[in-house]
Structure 1
Amino acid sequence: MTKKTPRGRRLAAALALGGCLAIAAPATSAGAAPADPVPTVFFGDSYTANYGIAPFHQDDTTRFFCFRAKENYPAVATRRLADKGVTLDVRSDVSCGGAVVRHFWEEQETFPGLDLKVPPQQDALKADTQLVVGSMGGNTLGFTRILKQCSDKLRAPENGLLPGTPVDADEPASTCAEFFGSGDGKQWLDDRFEQVGWDLEELLDRTQYFSPDAKRVLVGYPRLVPEDTGKCLTAAPGQTELPLADIPQDALPFLDQIQKRLDDVTRKAATDAGADFVDLYSVTGSNTACDGADRGIGGLLEPSQVKIGEQPLPWYGHPNEKGRDLQAQQVADKVEGILSR
């Protein structure tokens, strides 16, 4: 893999080519929470959009397949903050299912073949933006490809709507932990984590460039696999499929390690850039996909609230309403603390 050029030169070159250089306003000093509404932008992937929760926004044709819930965690967190006297002026929520980190600065094709392209998410940033919040990185890592490497059911044609292909379709799903633990599989995974780190660094640089006064908040991902993987061998109440489908039990600790590593990479990117980080992984260990009635994550093949026609789409491991509320609470608490500094 070719290492990128130093971030300062790369960012300057990209902005110059785009012809969109801006004059940075002087930064304001830190203080108490502003009395006026805080101009805010939310960005991110399906975990910010809260794919799976209905109803979702359908008023913009180009963003139809973003599946952004009307009651996603940005909307719920904004209300919780308002109840505490902290008012966000949400200028934009540009989160979109399927987004990789580079879609922060590049167009995103939301559905292959339909020519529906969403503008770069950074277009929402303005000189007066004061708060930028969102989650990205899981799709750049290729988490759905990892899941498909470990599951025959997710490789099946009827689950083709789940993006991505197995990393190596010639390797059986039953040996995925061994595949990713050494050789080409391990190298692929290491390269993906390196790319996530680079791209999050770029995202945070660009955020500071376009909105120099903004508080930047990266939000991590909730935990998918519990410490006790035996919980994953029982279907949730009312369900017939296991929460993590046919992924081998010996691969579940490995999937959890991947999530923890992604959490660590995201935290480091935020810390290095002087941004804030919301650690969802550490507070959602009792609300994983395998926690039955307490689950905050919908099972991989559990029907979600989103339908195409009359056919519900699976949750594919995304937060349900309980999980969304956990996201919103942690984000609201973090933002309240930031704006009160």
Structure 2
Amino acid sequence: MRRVTSPRALAMALVVVLGTAPASTSASTPASAPVPTVFLGDGVVGGYGIAPVDEGARLSCVRAQENLPDVVEDQLADQSILLDITADVSCAGAELRHVWEEQQLGGDVPPAPPQKRALTKDTRLVVAGLGAGTLGLGRILKQCSAKLRGTAGALLPEKPVDERSAAGDCAAYFAKGAGADWLAGRFEQVDKDLEKLFSEVGSESPSASVVLVGYPRLVPKDVKRCRTALPEGAGRPLADVPESAWPFLDQQVQSRLNSLMAQRAKAAGAVFVDLYATTGGATACDGDARTTGGLLEPSNVTLLHQRHPWFLHPNEPGRDQNGDAVAQAIATGVFGRGPA
């Protein structure tokens, strides 16, 4: 068990009021009991780049001590909903398949076990944030960035889709031919793996309500905001990704992924948290107000004498904003509460 219910949560909530839940949720949890909860996910859930790192977790997973599950727990406690987080197995770089397969962490580091091992028959709430790794977002970014293909991107282990195609041509590469076929194949895999995710969770924890968390928006609608340099000389928000690729990353990659995740969640009777729809006003391209670390912007995490850069992960304000949104979606969609 990674944590027990916090003293603050105990002070804030004496009972869990289930209210009227959708048909997909479980009403079998006693009203006086904290809800046994498991978080599955990748670095967005785990708080990649946010210091300090949780030394009790696998260091290669780069999980923050205070990450999205902590914010969700605290926000729900403010609404008198107690969570008993029995496990947070989020890990940077995790793909959907790592819910049921080991995740290789590189070098001589033992692999992370399948995330579903944290699930039990007693689990009543499962919150999952996965999908971008399966789609190959890291490979797409490396296809579009010469800097990421070099030493600056060494901590992003993926390779570009086709090293023979220049980074500056990535939008055209993905628009037709081999690049378009590759991207279509990745979306097909995400679709299959999302279906399997819900099946695996249902098998391990048949009485659990399931919440699927989408991804915060990376490229704002007004792409001109991404031309302004980050504060403190940290470069441009999207590094050297060509401007011609920005609309592609937004519409053909992220918006499309968000829609697919929403569709699969609806089909499974799960709650979907649409962070894409609510985060466009404070992306990495919004200076001091940004809620996402800029691509290759130095983060606050140093491990093994290496300063980890951001790879467009939420920073502390982003973690808090996303956690608030997830908590409200759980309160409304699982526990039948109105807006806080």
Partner of 1:42: 39
Partner of 1:54: 51
Partner of 1:296: 291
Is 2:248 aligned against 1:251?
A: no
The gaps in structure 1 that reach 5 residues or longer are 1-26
- Kindly provide the CA deviation profile for residues 96-115 of structure 1, in whole angstroms up to 9, marking residues without a partner as x: 011111100011112x2214
Q: Alignment partner for residue 313 of structure 1, among 300, 308, 311? A: 308
TM-score, structure 2 as length reference: 0.89
* Cα distance between partner residues in 2 of 1:115 and 1:312: 19
Partner of 1:340: 335
Aligned residues: 312
Partner of 1:79: 74
Instruction: Check the 8 A contact 1:48/1:73 in 2, yes or no.
Output: yes
Q: Structure 1 counterpart of 2:37, which letter? A: T
Q: 1:307 to 1:275 in 2, by over 3 A?
A: same
Q: 1:158 to 1:302 in 2, by over 3 A?
A: closer
The gaps in structure 2 that reach 5 residues or longer are 1-23
Identity of matched residues, %? 51
Partner of 1:133: 127
**Any idea what SS the aligned residue of 1:79 has?**
helix
* Cα distance between partner residues in 1 of 2:174 and 2:294: 23
Is 2:324 aligned against 1:329?
A: yes
Cα offset, 1:271, TM superposition: 0.8
**Any idea what SS the aligned residue of 1:108 has?**
coil
1:279-290 matches, within 5 Å, as: 279-290=274-285
- Kindly provide the CA deviation profile for residues 219-271 of structure 1, in whole angstroms up to 9, marking residues without a partner as x: 00000011111111111222341010011111100000110001011111111
Partner of 1:120: 114
Is 2:157 aligned against 1:163?
A: yes
Instruction: Check the 8 A contact 1:304/1:315 in 2, yes or no.
Output: yes
Partner of 1:6: none
Cα offset, 1:309, TM superposition: 4.6
Partner of 1:89: 84
Cα offset, 1:312, TM superposition: 1.9
TM-score, structure 1 as length reference: 0.88
Q: 1:33 to 1:297 in 2, by over 3 A?
A: farther
Cα offset, 1:31, TM superposition: 8.7
Cα offset, 1:157, TM superposition: 2.5
* Cα distance between partner residues in 2 of 1:320 and 1:34: 35
* Cα distance between partner residues in 2 of 1:322 and 1:259: 21
Instruction: Check the 8 A contact 2:152/2:296 in 1, yes or no.
Output: no
Instruction: Check the 8 A contact 1:151/1:246 in 2, yes or no.
Output: yes
**Any idea what SS the aligned residue of 1:217 has?**
strand
Is 2:110 aligned against 1:105?
A: no
Instruction: Check the 8 A contact 1:32/1:340 in 2, yes or no.
Output: no
**RMSD, aligned CA:** 1.6
**Any idea what SS the aligned residue of 1:89 has?**
strand
